[in-house]
């Protein structure tokens, strides 16, 4: 894949960082969380890596934001397993 900065972060890392920022934003970012989880899975991120990224963001955004993001992520992961 083509990157903006070939010496920069890989796609999986960028998407995990994006997911953390969206988790901290909480309910304002529900559609973006779903989209980012889909993109992260497509880039090869595991469900465990997604869970860890969301869990760490909970330290900054609080438990309600973390729980909501985890709920959204699990829904997207479950959708992918049904296919």
Q: Can you tell me the mean pLDDT for 58-81?
A: 93
Mean pLDDT of the chain, nearest integer: 91
- Res 26: pLDDT: 84
CA distances from 60 to 14, 26, 33 (A): 18, 11, 16
User: DSSP 3-state assignment of 74?
Assistant: helix
Q: Which residue has the tokens 């993001």?
A: 69
pTM: 0.88
CA-closest candidate to residue 22, choices 66, 79, 71: 66
CB 37 within 8 A of CB 71: no
28-49 residue pLDDT tens: 899 999 999 999 999 999 999 9
CB 33 within 8 A of CB 57: no
Q: How confident is the model at residue 83 (pLDDT cuts 50, 70, 90)?
A: low
């Amino acid at each position: 894949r083509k990157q903006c900065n070939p010496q920069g972060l890989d796609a999986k890392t960028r998407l995990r960082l994006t997911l953390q920022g969206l988790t901290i934003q909480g309910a304002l970012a529900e559609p973006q969380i779903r989209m980012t989880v889909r993109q992260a899975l497509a880039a090869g991120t595991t469900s465990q890596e997604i869970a860890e990224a969301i869990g760490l963001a909970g330290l900054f955004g609080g438990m309600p934001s973390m729980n909501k993001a985890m709920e959204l992520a699990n829904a997207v992961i479950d959708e992918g397993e049904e296919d």
